[in-house]
Amino acid sequence: MIGRLNHVAIAVADLDAAERQYGDLLGGILSAREDLPEHGVTTVFVRLSNTNIELLHPLGMDSPIAKFLEKSPSGGLHHVCYEVEDIRAAMERLVAGGARVLGREPKIGAHGKPVIFLHPKDFSGTLVELEQA
């Protein structure tokens, strides 16, 4: 069911510093910043030859990333994102198999495509995002 790894998301407390680290220090190619109010985040993608790294910064105090950073002030791995061919078929299969999908409907993610998140307790403690390819 899952396809390629689309990205690894890292929550960051200081987006300017993270851009310098991944852009200047590591030599990554950075996307422009994008605010996603529906998700409560500002994102920057670091383009790699085989996948991407998504830098996540809180957009407002109600952001899930703000809550993450309260527990892990220095930031850290937030989620992994895998591509799927059909997001609705994936949801049905996962729910039928006992997995918990967070939210009732897919939302539009940073790439303009439908995404869903899967409960970390169902996937070895890892928050999983699925994005329609």
Helices (H), 1-133: 15-19, 64-71, 87-96
Active-site annotation holder among 54, 83, 129, 131: 129
Of 85, 30, 70, 32, the closest CA to residue 52 belongs to 30
The pLDDT, as a whole number, for residue 89 is 97
Structural domain span for residue 39: 5-132
pLDDT at 45 over 90: yes
Is 129 marked active-site? Answer: yes
The pLDDT, as a whole number, for residue 128 is 98
pLDDT at 21 over 90: yes
pTM (predicted TM-score): 0.94
Q: Which residue has better confidence, 1 or 122?
A: 122
Counted domains in the chain: 1
pLDDT at 61 over 90: no
Q: How confident is the model at residue 104 (pLDDT cuts 50, 70, 90)?
A: confident
Query: Residue 57's domain is classified under what CATH number?
Result: 3.10.180.10
